[in-house]
Chain A
Amino acid sequence: MLKDPQIQPASYLIKQLPTLTVFVDRTFKIVHASDKWIATFEKDSNNTLGKSIFDVFPEVSHKWKKVLQDCFCGQAKPLGVHKHIDANQTEKWYEWSNTCWYDLNENIIGAIIQINDVTESIENELELEKTKNLLNQQSKSSKTGRWEYDIVSNKISWCDITKAVHEVPMDYVPDIDSAIKFYKEGYSRNAISMALYEASEKGTPWSEKLQITTATGIDKWVLTTGKAIFKKGELVGFSGTFQDINDQIIAHLETKKNEKLLRTLVDNLPLNVYVKDINSRKILANKAECDFFEVDNENDLLGKNNFDLYDAETARTYTEQDIRVMTNLTPILGEELICTKKDGTQTIFLSSKIPLFDENGTANGLIGISLDITNIKQKEKELRNLIDVTSLQNKKLINFAHIVSHNLRSHTANFSMLLDFLHHEECEDEKKKILNMLDSASKNLLETIDNLNEVVAISTNVNLETKEVNLHERITAVKKNLSDFIDSNQASITNNISKKETLKAVPSYLDSILMNFITNGIKYKHPKRKPELTLDLTKEGNFSILSVQDNGLGIDLKKYGNKLFGMYKTFHNHQNARGIGLYITKNQVEAMGGKIEVESEVGKGTTFKIFFNEKI
């Protein structure tokens, strides 16, 4: 009973301790525990006392048994830090310490164990460790070093990485002069000197991309940053970082170079190249494209869509194409397209559009390449015209060859036959008759040759001199020339053409053409009617059309249409029909770039329409 009053107050005292404290006896049984200890480690607070400490911390028993036993022998040692999952299932770190528990007789009766929650500091430490590692790793992988310069001691210190960047041995001792001399002479060295000066004078920090020459003589790009350090307003030094950015800069320069190469290539291609975004707005335009739109700067085109640049119809076509390419994801290649700009100028393009894919494989734009083929098309057209003209000429030539072979041969056949007769003829009268025939055959031949000559002259006259000719005046002149013929046939000619009207024609051809149609109109008059001719002029496109209408016999065009303008073709039983007039007229009209059309009805009359080309 003597002990009890002593113990009881002690036990109560312990109970109230603000720390996690527990008393164990030599059999490891818990004798006292602070309320805080029980609250922290025990779910059931009533059962704590008398329990073995190892029941509470089963995971530590083996190791600590020994430490506690040492303690019971008077040798208290720290128990160290231990992780424990507490009653709330949270992970906690605890630092354990123990001292010997003496009774009044200085006998060790157990151990006093004090536990500190060090979770926070452990976590902080771990965080710090992690940060340190990270920083080291970062600085290693980014090759970022540190440096410091102390003005007072005139000492500069480099970290290992800074040394490595300079490619100096680890025992190298830099000084401020040599440090600056590592910078390449010229821009880099000037820049660092300026930065140091500015920092010391104004306190401005710096961050510069400069070049150094390392100890081994290699040129390198570095990012050097620094700031001045002031103590009580006094400049005492500088500190900063030093990073090897050679790879990045080289890569950057390489990218720049490639970009420039690509740009130069794109700009100098003799093709219009552009890139459009998903809304058909231009996001790139090469020089040819800029030239096409007559702008000096690409920026004047960027952001503009089809409707900003082309006339409505072209813009619609382009937009449809753009959508098609981006929706179907299939390129349009070499499609011929007429492009009309806002100002109305037209260009023919051979254009290709290729979809541009984003990382998801959907099209978010397109690349366009257009070749201006306006000139080629024009040339093609000219060439086709030339082929047409050539084939026409060729046809004429064949026709002419046929005429020559036929018409000249018929005369020579006659000569040969008549001469053969003459050779064998004995009768003088018959001989005379044959000679007369030879004479007429010779005249016929001469006439044929003259006609052919005239045709050749028209066909070969390439340097036609067309003039503006007053049509009314020419008709009046021709009428005057033919006045006897007109009068004797009691013909009337109505000239409906205005006195001001002019035509582009070869004057001599025009006279011949007028002469021919007027005489034809009268010559092939209807036996029951007085010949009446009407002349009119109309315009149609590039042509002035002279129409000559008569009330004569008319021609059966179904029968003779294809032969009407043939050489030596006559259709009426008329003694003066030679079959050469229309052939020559047709040649003359065609030589001036025109044509002749004919409408006719047998018994009613004929209308010839002569087309004069005003664009020749």
Chain B
Amino acid sequence: MKKFKLISIVDDDPIAIFGIHKMLNLTVECETIESYINGKVALDGLNKRFKDSEVIPDVIFLDINMPIMDGWQFLEEFIKLPITKKIRINIVTSSIDPYDKQKWEQYKDQTHHLITFNNKPMKKEDIAKITKTA
């Protein structure tokens, strides 16, 4: 089993956070799993980590529809941060709007981070797959 130092979950839905958390516990070994309730909080938190030279997450689970700052707005700002480490960012959304898929395609090519797209509900197998390649 692969060992991770930090996995971050960005989602405004506590049930979704609970679910991903639980599945991660079952599939990977990770020292810390942290969660943010919207994009703004996440951006601030991760920026602080980067500035303070703290641990940068290996994997980020990112919801799209969130108040204050949504997933896309977060992504827009996050990829600007000069983080050299290649992070796997998993978009996790309940949206089946083709527009969201297009946006993902758009961001995918703009960064060295690996961005993937998953629809809710996530399954254990999905989590396993994501963490294996991360």
Do the beta carbons of A570 and B94 come within 8 Å of each other?
Answer: no
Q: Which of B80-134 contact A (CB under 8 A)?
A: 93-97, 119-123
A410, A421, A441, A559: which contacts B22 (Cβ < 8 A)? Answer: A421
* Cα(A421)–Cα(B24), bound, Å: 13
Nearest chain A residue, comparing its CB with the CB of B67:
A570
A405, A417, A420, A571: which contacts B68 (Cβ < 8 A)? Answer: A571
Tally B residues with Cβ within 8 Å of A.
23
Do the beta carbons of B97 and A571 come within 8 Å of each other?
Answer: no
Q: Which of A388-430 contact B (CB under 8 A)?
A: 402, 405-406, 409-410, 413-414, 416-418, 420-421
Nearest chain A residue, comparing its CB with the CB of B92:
A413
Residues of A contacting B67 with CB < 8 Å? 568-571, 573, 577, 579
* Cα(A569)–Cα(B65), bound, Å: 8
* Cα(A572)–Cα(B67), bound, Å: 8
* A-contact bits for B30-48, CB 8 A (1 contact / 0 none): 0000000010100000000
* Cα(A417)–Cα(B93), bound, Å: 13
Do the beta carbons of B65 and A568 come within 8 Å of each other?
Answer: yes
Residues of B contacting A437 with CB < 8 Å? 14-15, 18
Do the beta carbons of A405 and B96 come within 8 Å of each other?
Answer: yes
Do the beta carbons of B68 and A573 come within 8 Å of each other?
Answer: yes
Do the beta carbons of B19 and A421 come within 8 Å of each other?
Answer: yes
Q: Which of A559-604 contact B (CB under 8 A)?
A: 559, 568-573, 577, 579
* Cα(A58)–Cα(B75), bound, Å: 135
Do the beta carbons of B19 and A418 come within 8 Å of each other?
Answer: yes
* Cα(A570)–Cα(B96), bound, Å: 21
* Cα(A417)–Cα(B126), bound, Å: 13
* Cα(A568)–Cα(B14), bound, Å: 16
Count of chain A to chain B residue pairs whose CB atoms are closer than 8 Å in the complex = 64
A406, A571, A573: which contacts B94 (Cβ < 8 A)? Answer: A406
Residues of B contacting A406 with CB < 8 Å? 65, 93-97
Do the beta carbons of A413 and B121 come within 8 Å of each other?
Answer: yes
Between A410, A441, A568, A573, the greatest number of chain B beta carbons within 10 A of the residue's beta carbon is seen for A410
Residues of B contacting A572 with CB < 8 Å? 68
Nearest chain A residue, comparing its CB with the CB of B40:
A573
Q: Which of A426-457 contact B (CB under 8 A)?
A: 437, 440-441
Decide: A405 near B16, CB < 8 A? Known: A413-B120, A571-B67: no
Q: Which of B7-27 contact A (CB under 8 A)?
A: 13-16, 18-19, 22
Distance (Å) between the CB of A176 and the closest chain B CB? 109
Do the beta carbons of B15 and A441 come within 8 Å of each other?
Answer: yes
Distance (Å) between the CB of A552 and the closest chain B CB? 16
Decide: A414 near B16, CB < 8 A? Known: A571-B68, A572-B68: yes
Do the beta carbons of B22 and A413 come within 8 Å of each other?
Answer: no
* Cα(A577)–Cα(B12), bound, Å: 13
* Cα(A405)–Cα(B94), bound, Å: 8
Decide: A417 near B19, CB < 8 A? Known: A406-B65, A570-B67, A572-B68: yes
Residues of A contacting B93 with CB < 8 Å? 406
The 7 closest A-B pairs by CB, nearest first: A413-B120, A570-B67, A410-B94, A413-B121, A417-B121, A409-B94, A417-B19
Seen from chain B, the residues whose Cβ lies within 8 Å of a Cβ on chain A are 13-16, 18-19, 22, 38, 40, 65, 67-68, 73, 93-97, 119-123
Seen from chain A, the residues whose Cβ lies within 8 Å of a Cβ on chain B are 402, 405-406, 409-410, 413-414, 416-418, 420-421, 437, 440-441, 559, 568-573, 577, 579
What are 14 contact pairs spanning A and B, CB under 8 A? A406-B93, A406-B95, A406-B96, A406-B97, A410-B120, A414-B19, A414-B120, A417-B16, A417-B120, A417-B121, A421-B19, A437-B14, A572-B68, A577-B67
